[in-house]
Chains A and B, each alone.
Chain A
Amino acid sequence: MLFSRKPRADEFEAAALPHMNDIYRTAVRLLGAGSGADDVVQDVYLQAWKSFSQFELGTNCRAWLFKILFHTLHHYRRKWLNIRMVKESEDILEQTAAGGPPLPEQITDEEMLAALTEVPQDFRAVVLLIDVEEFSYKEAAGILNVPIGTVMSRLSRGRRLLREKLVDLAQSYGIGRMHQEGKSA
């Protein structure tokens, strides 16, 4: 259509810019600080701006931006190739049913983020979307373009792995041992 209305920058800014912190944090946690997260976030917003005419105002702009984020990250896959993949298995509910290791009490934000980095990125992505960004299973499935069952299994596995990594990390610092010693005293 010749005279289709170009979306206004202020409309786009009002709808999309308030979510930049969420997009940035997720990109940093998936790529690592200094690993191109700034460029990814910029690409996400420029792509979103270019396709904003297709976005229906009043619908979930935040979920739409996250979908673009993961689409953009897909093109940064080469940066992810050296990350160890964990095979998803059908026995996830069996593992989930068991109690995990006790969570260390004394743990800093830095240690939490270090443990998160150790979680394979497919699981990490779901944990970030559900636990940090508080998307529903259905929204996360739409963002990642996977079935809801996959979201559920990755979430359970991701949470469990994070907990195990935290315990490993804490024990390597002597935190877990101190905590256990304190309890047994």
Chain B
Amino acid sequence: MNRVRFGEGACEKIRKYLDSYISNELLIETNHEVLRHIENCPACAGELEARTQLRTRLKTAVNAQSVPPELQVRIREKIRTDHSSSWFGAGWFASGWSHGAVAMAASLIISVGVWLNYSPEKMPALTDRPGQNVYIQKVSATLAAVLKVGLGDHIHCSIFRKYPKDPPPVEKMEADLGASYKGLLPVVRAAVPDGYRVIMAHQCGYAGRHFIHLTLEKDGDLLSLVVARRKDGESLGALPPALETSGVPVYQSAATRYQVAGFEAGDFLAYVVSDLKSKANLHIAANLAPAVREFLLKIPA
């Protein structure tokens, strides 16, 4: 065996470098010197292995913990609340304006803003398909494309479509969902909060895509679970997750009065859409995500 000799104290010298070597903080030349030594020195190689193992095990142990979903929700809520309420308070007073001047300016801007911008979205008539499409495009304009998929079908199907006042029997909904997807009914019922009832469940189409769609209702609030096959390149992963539940990242964005949450399940993208408050919609999506994902992962490609 060729043994490279660094002279007296070679091991001591190398071991002083080991911590920086593990952290990848050495110059290339020094790095090579360490590598050459440990290739020929079992004792230092063992020491390096022990230090590297310690680092790996520590990382694994610390990373096993995740931020609690409720903390994520709380922080997002506080940011959103602050965003909508604190602009005048912090920046304008700090800039030296008197309270009276700020109040007058605020009043003026609000008045002008209301005058110029108050144009509530008008809901098109049920038969006005082009108008419906324009409405959907308008309200979803600010959303990421991958989230528009779920919102579009929710509005098209749950908002514009007439559904019977009384939900159809389970057998009818199972038949409309088809053999592969009828098992979603008990999964969804078990995961949504008390009081929500499934009022429509079927397969439908919108904008050239096919959907599995369950509509739920509670006290007049409508909520959709929309499932679509993922198209090439479609992913929610580029968005910042709102929370992670049982290892499933859940994403959410608002579009006018709608909240659109989404999660991935193998070949599927699933959405929870409603006009509930952000926290409520995300809470329901977080409850649904693990169970729905588990169900969808069993569906053959």
Contacts and interface: CB of A to CB of B under 8 A. Distances in A.
A30 to B, nearest CB: 11
Contacts of B80: 9
B229 to A, nearest CB: 27
Most buried by B among A23, A42, A96, A155: A96
Contact of A162 (B43, B54, B72, B76): B54
Contacts of B12: 97
Interface string B2-23: 0000000001110110111001
Contacts of B242: 17
A40 B16 CA distance: 36
B109 to A, nearest CB: 10
A36 interface: no
A66 B25 CA distance: 20
B16 A41 contact: no
Chain A at the B interface: SS class: helix
Given A13-B240, A99-B15, A159-B54, A4 B91 contact: yes
26 contacts: A1-B95, A2-B95, A17-B242, A20-B67, A21-B244, A24-B66, A25-B66, A28-B65, A38-B68, A42-B74, A46-B79, A93-B16, A96-B15, A96-B16, A96-B18, A99-B46, A100-B47, A128-B62, A132-B59, A136-B25, A137-B20, A137-B25, A159-B51, A159-B55, A162-B54, A163-B54
Interface of A: 1-2, 4, 6, 8-10, 12-14, 17-18, 20-21, 23-25, 28-29, 38, 41-42, 45-46, 49-50, 93, 96-100, 102-103, 107, 109-110, 112-113, 116, 127-128, 130-132, 136-137, 152, 155-156, 159, 162-163, 166
